[in-house]
Amino acid sequence: MGKPTGFIEYLRETPLDRSPKERVRDWKEFHHHLDEKSLRNQAARCMDCGVPFCHTGKLMSGGASGCPVNNLIPEWNDLVYRGLWREALDRLHKTNNFPEFTGRVCPAPCEGSCVLGINAPPVTIKNIENTIIERGFEEGWVVPEPPKSRTGKKVAVVGSGPAGLAAAQQLNRAGHSVTVLERADRPGGLLMYGIPNMKLDKQDVVMRRIKLLEQEGVKFVCNADVGDNYEAQMMRRDYDAVVLCTGATQARDLPVEGRALGGVHFAMDYLTTATQAVLGKGAKAAPIQAKGLDVVVIGGGDTGTDCVGTAMRQGCRTLTQFEIMPKPPAERAADNPWPEWPRVYKMDYGQEEAAAKFGKDPRAYLTTVKRFVGDEQGRVKEIVTVDVRWEQDAQGRLSPVEQPGTERSQPAQLVLLAMGFTGPETALPQDLGIALDERRNIRADATTYATSVEGVFAAGDCRRGQSLVVWAIAEGRAAARECDRWLMGATDLP
């Protein structure tokens, strides 16, 4: 523990963001950085408590509590306080393959379970983590680490999102020859196309890591849609083992009147084409455009926020975001105690930007959609909503009940459905003869990550359902360890 009184002496301080009105003019990352003295003071707030809940990585009341990759947070906080940045990086890399991703996009369940957070603002763990890894890149400490020898075994990893990349790096370090098969035109999966550039830069952050993996010996094959233009059974014949990391990409639909109208899109279709345009011909070339339109985002969470931020940068005329859930309280409710993930009201970056332009938080709570109304060309022009109230049924289950007399309509020429995902696409597991569980996820043992087909493993959202990037990295690492054990009879992977 570097400074026993640090949590008393220093207040929580986070870097300022670029102003909302400035940052919506471009697609660059919007976070500034703290100076080194301030960062060391923030690290000094860590109490190195006897039971560090920050790195427990458990599920509590349906949410993550602590770090799912079990980052050694008190250790690297102490090292940062003492100015030992290289040693802090080594500690960070012991558990996390890609802290530059989690340090940007993770909601930081570690901070939600920080012991200091019981009665004071928690340690700024996420910001310190991101600074450690960026310092590592700046100093040239992050270099390719190819294996010293090869085992002669070949492994295919299907999907190059966070789970796939983590599995690939670990298996490659074990000495196996790893090929990552990605159906998109660029590697990165969710990191490339599911998260906008202003939140996670593609060239400077995502591709920087992809290039390192290539230098370590991982091979990436893009435009390889296994089960479509790349035969699944041929893959099984060509490789000694397969790790499926295909994500939970089956979007939840909204089957109401007018759903088939033009201008109603799934959020991921919108975000993907927007990022492709930014990386290719420029943002103005995106096929789904919000410029000059009344935009409605249906659903909350990170995906809904990313739609808001993207629409703001494309120049929408108005923006509204509907959520069926009630507005969260300003402070933890009695049934949401520490160290659970704090379900409290907050303004994320997209809502901040909309509020700066339109004067208020764009979210309307306890609202659901009744129908979409179209124009003569078959495109959406209006959305009709109704208020709901959550009530218990005879079995004690809560469900939304429409409130009479609350129906209303508003203009909408672009509607984005951001209501989450129901699970993985099932064509590939069916081609491979892999069993699914009751939620239509790939059935794979939580300890061995083995599917019902010998030599085929599964990790990440395709196994556990829609979740966090940090859970995907944790599962990718674990699946790699078990795949290595199956291939070699034993494993040294962590």
The predicted structure's pLDDT at residue 269: 97
Q: How confident is residue 380, by pLDDT bands cut at 50, 70 and 90?
A: very high
pLDDT (tens digit, 9 = 90+) per residue, 36-69?
999 999 999 998 888 899 989 999 998 899 999 9
Whether the per-residue pLDDT at 281 is higher than 90: the answer is no
Q: Give the Cα separation of 241 and 424 in Å (integer).
A: 20
List Cβ neighbours of 388 (8 Å cut-off, separation of 6 or more): 324, 366, 367, 368, 400, 401, 402, 403
Domain map of the chain by residue range? 6-139, 154-249+422-488, 253-419
Check: CB of residue 365 under 8 Å from CB of residue 323.
Answer: yes
For 259, counting Cβ atoms within 10 Å of its Cβ (0-12 exposed, 13-18 middle, 19+ buried), the class is middle
pLDDT (tens digit, 9 = 90+) per residue, 448-468?
999 999 999 999 999 999 999
Whether the per-residue pLDDT at 345 is higher than 90: the answer is yes
Q: How far, in whole angstroms, is CA 301 from its chain's centroid?
A: 10
Looking at domain 154-249+422-488, which of 2.60.120.260, 3.50.50.60, 3.40.50.720, 2.40.30.30 is its CATH number? 3.50.50.60
The predicted structure's pLDDT at residue 1: 64
How distant, in Å, are the alpha carbons of 142, 216, 220 from that of 146? Answer: 13, 4, 15
Q: pTM for the full model? A: 0.96
Indicate if 253-419 has the same CATH topology as 154-249+422-488: yes
**Class for domain 6-139, per CATH?**
mainly alpha
pLDDT (tens digit, 9 = 90+) per residue, 167-203?
999 999 999 999 999 999 999 999 999 999 999 999 9
Amino acid at 402: E
pLDDT (tens digit, 9 = 90+) per residue, 6-29?
999 999 999 999 999 999 999 999
Using a pLDDT cut of 70, give the percent of the chain over it: 100
Looking at domain 253-419, which of 1.10.10.10, 3.30.413.10, 3.40.50.720, 3.50.50.60 is its CATH number? 3.50.50.60
Q: What Rg, from alpha-carbon coordinates, does the chain have?
A: 23
The predicted structure's pLDDT at residue 336: 95
For 167, counting Cβ atoms within 10 Å of its Cβ (0-12 exposed, 13-18 middle, 19+ buried), the class is buried
| Strand 177-181 relative to strand 219-221, pairing | parallel
The predicted structure's pLDDT at residue 177: 98
Q: Span 96-124, mean pLDDT? A: 96
Q: Span 90-115, mean pLDDT? A: 97
The predicted structure's pLDDT at residue 361: 97
Amino acid at 19: S
Angle between the N-to-C axes of helices 125-139 and 73-81, in degrees from 0 to 180, rounded to the nearest 10: 60
